[in-house]
Structure 1
Amino acid sequence: MKDRTIQLFNRFIWSDYPLTLGELSEDFQLSNRTIRNEIKEINIFLNERKLPEIKTIRNRGMLLKLEQKERKLLEGYLDEKDEFDYLNREERIFDLILAFSLSEQPVFLYQKESEYQISKSTMDEDMRRVRTILLEYGLEVLSIPKQGIILKGSERTIRTMIYDVINQTIDSLRFLEGNEVGLSTSEKYLFRYIPKHILKKIDQVYHQTISAREDLYRNQLVMFTAIWLSRYLRQELIMNSSWEEVEPAQNKLQTFINQLCRILAVRPPSSEINYIIFMLETFNTGSISNSVEWVQAQLLSIQLIQFVEQTTKIPFSKKEESLHEGLYRHMAGLISRVKSEIHILNPLKETVKRYYGNIYFAIEKFAPTIEVITKNELSEDEMAFLTIHFSTSVSAINQELTYTYKAVVICNHGTATGRLLAEHLKELFNIDVLAVLSTGEMELIKKLDVDLIFSTLSLTYPEKPILVVDPIIKVESRKNIQEFLERNKQFKRLINNANDSTELFYTVLDLIKESGGMISSNIYQQLENTFDKNHLKINKRELQPMLKDVLKKSDILLLEKCPDWESAIQRVALPLLSENCIKESYVEAMIASVKEFGPYIVMGKHLALAHARPEDGVNRLGISVATLAEPVVFGNEENDPVKIIFCLAAVDSFSHLNIMKSLIELINDETKIERLASCNNVTDFEAILYEEALKETK
C-alpha cells in the first residue's frame, strides 16, 4: 500500500462524517478517478481482514464505520507503514521553498516528484506557483546541472523571504514545546531543515544572555537567528554589505551572538556578525536608547496617542505616561523592522481586531504618518501590536471611575472560575469584589463590608440583594447586571483617590504661577520634598518640565551664520556645552549619526532636532535653539532647507516628553516657524514660541 493510500485511509478511519470525492480530490490534488482506485485498494485490504468496507451514502459521500477496537487495530498497522505524510499543494510549496533555500544537499525536481508521489504535470504546477511567490521578493529559481535547484537574488532578501514564508505558513511558532503531538505537517517539515534541537539551543542562549521573560518577540528572534545560522553554514554569505564597516555596540545582542557561536563552534566573518546583530536589533524592545530613531519613535508615539484619543474618544491621556513608556519602546523596533521589510508575526491579530476594533481602525488611519518615516507599508500584524499597548490602558482607564460597588461572589465551580467572574465584574462595571466564596462559606458575608452578592447558582440571602449570573459574562448578561446595579444604586460608593496626589501637586504649581511666582527647578524639588514628608504619593514621571521651564534666554541664538549643517549642529550645541548640560562627545555623536544615517533629524518643514543617545554624553536635561540667517540644506528633500534647529539633551525616557509635545505643535505650524525664523530679538522669539501656552494660562 502506497504512502498516499495510507494517508487517504487515515482520513476515513478518523472521520465521523461522510467524505465527498470533491473534497478528497481537492485535499490530495488527485482526480476523482484516482481517488476511486485508491478506495478500491483500501476496501480490498479491509475485506481480506474481514473488517467493514468504505460505503457510499446516497447524496452525502463515503463513510467507514468502525468500532473503537477496529480503529486501534488499523492504526497500529498503518503506523508501521506510514513513513511520511502525503502533502497537499500548499505543504509541498512550503517544503520546496525550504528545500531550495535551507537543504544541505542538492535538490533535484525528479527526486521531489518521487518523494511526493505526484505526476510531472502536478510538479510543474507546483513550481509555477513557487516561482510566482519568489518573484514577489525579486528572486528567481534556476536549475543547474549537478547542482540542482538554486535561488538567484540578494542573500539578504533570501533570508528575509525564508523568515516571511515560515511566518505566513505556520500560524504560531511552537518549536520550543517539547511535545510533538498536534504539530502540523508544515511544522514537522520545518524541523527537517532547521532541527528542533538547534532552535532550543538558540533559545537557551537567549534565556541566558538577553531575557528569561516570555514574550511575543522571543520566538521570532530565535527563528530569525536559526535562519541566519542555516544560511551561513551553507556558506551562503552576505558579501561587501553595508554592515561590514559597522562596529556594533557592546550589548546583550552581541553577547547573545558571541556565546551562540562559541557553543556551536562556528566563526562567522565580521560582516555576518554585524548583519545579524543589526537585524535582531529590530526585534529588540528592551532599550530605546540603542536605536538612532528613538526621537522619531517618541514623536510618533505622542502623535499616535493624541490621534487615537481624538478618534475613539477614549481618554488615553489619563494613562499617557505608562502608555507612552511601552509604546515608544515598541515604536523604535517597529520603525527599524518596517524599514528593513522584516515581517513579524502577531498570533493575537484577529483577536485584537475583533475585541478592540475601534482602536485598531484608528491606528490604521494613522498608519500613513508612520509610513512617511518607514517608507514601507505597515502590516496588519504591526498595527495589532500597537493596538495591544492601547488595549492594556483601556482596562486601567475603565477601572478609574468615580464610584464603585462593594460585592462578594458566590461560586461552587472552583476558585479560578470565581476569580474570573470577579475580574470581569471589576473591569466591566467597576465592582469591587472583596471575596470569592462557596455556599459553605456564606456566613462570612456578615463579616465583610459588602452590599451586593453575585452568584453562579440559585440561592437566597434575605439580608442583601443578589443576582445569579454565568461565570463568564456574555453580552446578553451585561444588560441584566446593569439593571441590577441601577435598582441598587443607593449602594454606590465614591472611590477615595487620596493615594495619588499628582493632580494636587500640579494644582499647587498652578497656584504659584497664577500668583506671579516663577517655577524653578528648586521650587519643584522643595515641593516634592514637602509632599514626601506628608506621605502624599506623586507620580514623579508625570512631573515633567515644560519647554519654557527649560529653554532659557541664554539658550536662544538668533540669525546665526552657518555655512553647512555640521556647523549648525556645533553652533546650536554651544549653550548646552557652556552650561555643562552635555559633553563634547555628545556634539561629535550628533554629527556622526547624521553622517551615518542621513538627515533623519530634520523632523518637519524647515525644522531640525539635533540629538544623540543619552549615554553619548548628557549630564542633565537641556534644550537650545538657533535660527539661521541663511537656511541650510541637510539633505532632506521634503523638508529642506532648515531655518530653525533645536538641540535636545535627554537624560532618560520620560523627563522631556512635555518638551517633545511642544515641538510636535511647532512642527505642525509652518506659519509659526516662519515667524520665529525672522525674529531678531529673544523677547519676540519667546512671545511667539509660547503664545499658545500664554493664552491657556490667562
Structure 2
Amino acid sequence: MKDRTIQIFKRFIWSDYSLTLDELSEDFQVSNRTIRNEIKEINAFLISHKLSEIKTIRNRGMVLTLEQSERKQLEIVIDEKNEFDYLSREERIFDLILAFSLSEHPVFLYQKESEYQISKSTMDEDMRRVRNTLLAYGIEVLSIPKQGIVLKGSERTIRTMIYDVINQSIDSLRFLDEKEAGLSVSEKHLFRYIPKKVLKKIDHVYHQTISSREDIYRNQLVMFTAVWLSRYLRQELIPSSDWEVWDTEQNQRRLSFVHQLCRTLAVRPPVSELNYILFMLETFDTGSISNSVEWVQAQLLSIQLIQFVEQTTQIPFSKKEESLHEGLYRHMAGLISRVKSEIQILNPLKETVKRYYGNIYFAIETFAPTIEAITKHELSEDEIAFLTIHFSTSVSAINQELQYTYKAVVVCNHGTATGRLLAEHLKELFSIEIVAVLSTGEMELIKKLDVDLIFSTLSLTYPDKPILVVDPIIKVESRKNIQEFLERNRQFKRLVNNDNDSTELFYKVLDLIKESGGTISSDIYQQLETTFDQNHLKINKRELQPMLKDVLKKSDILLLEKCPDWESAIRRVARPLLKENCINESYVKAMIASVNEFGPYIVMGKHLALAHARPEDGVNRLGISVATLAEPVVFGNEANDPVKIIFCLAAVDSFSHLNIMKSLIELINDETKINRLVRCSNVSDFEAILYEEC
C-alpha cells in the first residue's frame, strides 16, 4: 500500500465525520478518479481483515465506522506497510525541476508519473505549473523524442534558477547537518541529484581554503558551487568569457578553493567555467562587513538609497530598515565590485520587477548616477532590478503594518441625516476619513479643511479638488465607480499614523533621565526596553542605536592638528580611540595599508575623509573620533581633495553604527558646515555646529 493510500486511510480511521471526494482531492492534490481507486484498495484491505468498508452516505460523503480498538490496531498494521513517500504537489514540482536540470540521464514524464504514482491528468497539471515557474526566469521546457525533457535558456539563467528553487525549498542553515533523521522530503530528493557527500566535500575544501566560520552565506556558497559543478559535469557549459580574475588576497583564497576542489573531485573545467565560478563566489563573499575594503562605501550608498527611495515613493522603508539595510548593503558591496570591473550579470526577473514595482525601479534608476560616480561605469537595468528586489521584499511586510486613508468631505442637500448616512457608508466600505458633511451653501469651508476629495449627492463643480457624484445609499454597482475614483486619485492616499509606536515616548523618558542628572548606560537602555515590552508599548528598537553625539566624546575631538601627509593624519585621528582601547595598533596599520593598496577610497566627500578598516583588524568596541587639519592634506582623490576634516570609525558589526553613518552623510552633503567646523578653535563650538539641526 503506497503512502498516499495510507494517508487517506488514516483520515478515514480517525475522522468522526464524513469525507467527500472533492475534499480529499483538494487535500491530496489528485483527481477524484485517483481518490476512488485509492478507496477501492483500502476497502479490499478492510475486507481481507474482516472489517467494515468505507461506505457512501447520500448527500453527505463517505465514512468508515470502527471501534476504538479497531482504529488502534489498524494504525499499527498500516504503519508497518508504509513503503512509499508520497509527494505533495510542491514536492513533485521541486523534484521535476531538479530532475530536468540536474539528472545524469534523460527524464521522461511517463517514468515520473509512474514514480509518483499519480494519474496523467495530475502530471499534466504539475507540468503546467513547472512551465509557469520556469517561464518567470525566461526558461522554456521542451519535450524532445529520445531526449526527454530539456530546458531551453541561457546557461547562467538556468544555474541561477536552480539555486533559487533550491533556496526556496531547502533550509540552507541545516542541509549540511550530520543527522540523517528528520530530513524533509525535499532534502531527500535534493540529495538524489546533488549527493550529500559532494556537498560535504565542497564544505570541507571551503573550510580548508577560505574560512572555518559557520554561517548561512557559507552554506549558500557551498550550494551554489554544487549547482555549478553538477551542470558542468552534465557538460552544460558557460560560453567563453573575458572575465578577469583579480590578484587580491580574497581572490587568491577563492582560487585556492576552486583548484583544490577540482583536484579533490578529479575534474578539469575550462577557463570560462573557472572564471565564472570565481566571479560568482566573489559576489557571495564581498557582502560581508569583514572582507570588503569598500564596506563603508557600500553602507553609505545603501543608507542614501533607502532615504531617496522612501522620499520618492512615500513608502516608509525605514520601518523595515534593519532587514532591508542588511540585505541591500551586502548586495551593494558585490554590485560595486561587478560594475567597476564591467561585469554584467543577468537578472531573469527584470521585466517582472519593472512591471510590478515600477515606482521603486524608477526611483532607483533616478538615484543610479550617485552609485555610478563611485563605480565609474553605468548601472545596467539588470543591476537596478536586483536593487529593486531588495525593496520589493519589504513592501508586503510594510503594507501589513500600515493603513492608508483618503480625507474627504460629503456635500449633500437632502438633509444632515442623509449626508451622514453616505459618510458612514464610505467609511465602512472604503479607507476614507470623512472630515465634514456640508451643504452646497457651506462649500467655502472646504478651503479651510484638510481634505483632498469631495463626494456629492448632486451634480456640482469645484475647481480645486476631484469630485464624484454618488447616491446617498451606495449600491453594489456604485462601489466599482468609487474604487476607480480612488484609484485615479491615489496620489492623495495618506498614511495613517501608527498610534502604537512609542519610540518617541521612549526618547522623552531618556531625556527626562538625563535632565534629572542620571546617566544613560546600556543597562538603563535594556531595562527601559523591557519595561516598554512588558506594558505592550511598541518601539522601533533599531532607532535606538547610538547617535553620533552619544559616541563622540569631547576627548575624541581634535582641532587644528598639524599633519604633513595623509598617513600622519590617520595616525593622529586614531589616537583617542587607541587611548580608550576602542582599537588596537593593528587597526591603525590596517587603515594605512588599505589606502596604500586600494587608493584614497576613504575620502567620502568634499574635504572629508572617513578612516576605517575591517572590524577584525583590531576593533574592541564601537567608537569614533574626529580631527580638523590646520593645513588641508592631499590624499590623492582628485574630486574631493584636499581633506580638511577626518573621522576615524571603529565598527564592530554591520548595524550598530548606522545612525552615526547617517550623520556623516548629512555632513558630507554640507560643504558649508564642514568649512565652519574646520575654523573652530574650541571643542564646545565644534559640538554646537556639528549637532545643530537644520
TM interval, short-chain normalised = 0.5 to 0.7
From 539, 544, 554, the equivalent of 2:582 is 539
- Residue 276 of structure 2: aligned partner: 275
Label 1:652 to 1:518 Cα distance change in 2 as closer, same or farther (>3 A): closer
> Counterparts of 1:38-53 in structure 2 under 5 Å?
38-51=38-51, 53=53
Query: What is the Cα deviation at residue 297 of structure 1?
Result: 0.4
Output one character per residue of 1:329-384: Cα deviation in whole Å (capped at 9) or x when no partner: 675247779984689xxxxxxxxxxxxxxxxxxx9999888877541223369769
- CA distance in 1: counterparts of 2:535 and 2:661, whole angstroms: 42
Output the TM-score relative to the length of structure 1. 0.54
TM-score (norm 2): 0.54
Check conservation: 2:262, 2:268, Cα contact below 8 A.
Answer: yes
Match for residue 429 of structure 1 among 510, 513, 528: 528
For 2:516, the equivalent position in structure 1 comes to none
In 2, the alpha carbon distance for the partners of 1:197 and 1:125 equals 34
- Aligned-pair identity in percent equals 57
- Please report the RMSD computed on the Cα atoms of aligned residues, expressed in angstroms: 6.3
Please give the secondary structure, in 2, of the residue aligned with 1:151. Answer: strand
Show the counterpart of 2:256.
255
Aligned pairs for 1:14-53 within 5 A: 19-51=19-51, 53=53
Offset at 1:118? 3.4
Q: Secondary structure at the match of 2:535?
A: helix
Partner Cα distance (2:532, 2:613) in 1 = 49
**1:478 counterpart residue number:** 535
Q: Quick one: distance in 2 between partners of 1:145 and 1:612?
A: 63
> Contact between 2:555 and 2:576, CA under 8 Å: does it hold in 1?
no
| Aligned counterparts, 1:346-361, within 5 A | none
* Letter of the structure 1 residue corresponding to residue 103 of structure 2: S
Corresponding position of 1:375: 384
The alignment partner of 2:264 has SS state of helix
Q: Contact 2:608–2:640 at 8 Å: present in 1 too? A: yes
Secondary structure in structure 2 of the residue aligned to 1:150: strand
Where does residue 466 of structure 2 map in the other structure?
A: none
Q: Which amino acid aligns with 2:689?
A: E
Instruction: Give deviations 1:416-442, integer Å, cap 9, x for gaps.
Output: xxxxxxx999845368xxxxxxxxxxx
CA distance in 1, matches of 2:253, 2:262: 14
Change (3 A) 1:689 1:525: closer
Residue identity opposite 2:283 in structure 1: T
| Mapping 1:562-577, distance limit 5 Å | none
Name the aligned partner's letter for residue 269 of structure 1: P
Which string of whole-angstrom CA distances, capped at 9 and with x for unpartnered residues, describes residues 184-213 of structure 1?
332222221112222222223333333333
Instruction: Work out whether residues 297 and 328 of structure 1, in 8 Å CA contact, stay in contact via their aligned partners in 2.
Output: yes
Aligned residues: 495
Instruction: Identify the residue that residue 162 of structure 1 maps to in structure 2.
Output: 162
Distance 1:260 1:627 in 2: 41
Residues 522-555 of structure 1: CA deviation (Å, up to 9, x unaligned): 99859958994xxxx46359xx99xxxxxxxxxx
Partner residue of 1:114?
A: 114
Counterparts of residues 64-143 of structure 1 (less than 5 Å): 67=69, 69-79=72-82, 82=83, 84-143=84-143
Aligned equivalent of 1:488: none
Gapped regions of structure 1 (runs ≥ 5): 344-362, 388-393, 405-422, 432-472, 481-501, 546-578, 591-600, 616-620, 629-643, 677-683
- 1:139 maps to a residue whose letter is I
Aligned partners of 1:608 and 1:526: how far apart in 2? 15
For the 8 Å contact 2:286–2:333, the answer to whether it is kept is yes
1:209 maps to 209
Question: Hey, what's the Cα distance between the residues in 1 that align with 2:110 and 2:27?
Answer: 22
Change (3 A) 1:301 1:88: closer
Residues 258 and 72 of structure 1: CA distance in aligned 2, closer, same or farther (over 3 Å): farther
**Partner Cα distance (1:213, 1:179) in 2:** 20
Q: Match of 2:77, SS?
A: helix
User: 5+ unaligned residues in a row in structure 2: which ranges?
Assistant: 349-359, 372-382, 399-502, 514-521, 538-548, 615-626, 652-656
Q: Does 1:696 align with 2:685?
A: no
Stretch deviating more after TM superposition (171-180 or 143-152): 171-180
Question: Structure 1's 15 and 690: CA in aligned 2 closer, same or farther, altered over 3 A?
Answer: farther
Q: Distance in 1 between matches of 2:524 and 2:15?
A: 42
Q: How far did residue 76 of structure 1 move?
A: 4.4
Q: Deviations over 1:482-539 (max 9, x none)?
A: xxxxxxxxxxxxxxxxxxxx979842466x75xxx6576699859958994xxxx463
Mean CA deviation greater in 4-13 or 327-336: 327-336
Measured against aligned partners, the alpha-carbon deviations of 1:552-591 in whole angstroms (never above 9, x if no partner) come to: xxxxxxxxxxxxxxxxxxxxxxxxxxx99976x767x99x
Provide closer, same or farther for how the CA distance between residues 646 and 59 of structure 1 changes in structure 2, counting only shifts above 3 A: farther
Q: What are the superposed Cα offsets for residues 229-262 of structure 1, whole Å, 9 maximum, x if unpaired? A: 1111111111212436766764333332222222
Counterpart CA distance in 1 for 2:95 and 2:577 is 68
Q: CA deviation at 1:157?
A: 0.7
In the alignment, is the contact (CA less than 8 A) between 1:586 and 1:612 conserved in 2?
no
Q: Which amino acid is the alignment partner of residue 218 of structure 1?
A: R
- The Cα offsets for residues 119-140 of structure 1, whole Å up to 9 and x where unpaired, read as 4343333333322222221222
Amino acid at match of 2:76: L
Cα separation, 2, equivalents of 1:403 and 1:297: 37
Counterpart contact for 2:570–2:648, Cα < 8 Å? no
Residue identity in the other structure for 2:528:
F
Q: Secondary structure at the match of 2:141?
A: strand
- Report deviation, 1:103: 0.3
Does structure 1 retain, via aligned residues, the 8 Å contact 2:327–2:390?
Answer: no
Separation in 2 of the partners of 1:48 and 1:161? 49
Greater CA drift, 209-218 or 366-375:
366-375
- Displacement after TM superposition at 1:25 (Å): 0.4
SS in 1 for 2:213: coil
1:507 aligns with 2:550: no
The letter of the residue matching 2:137 is: Y
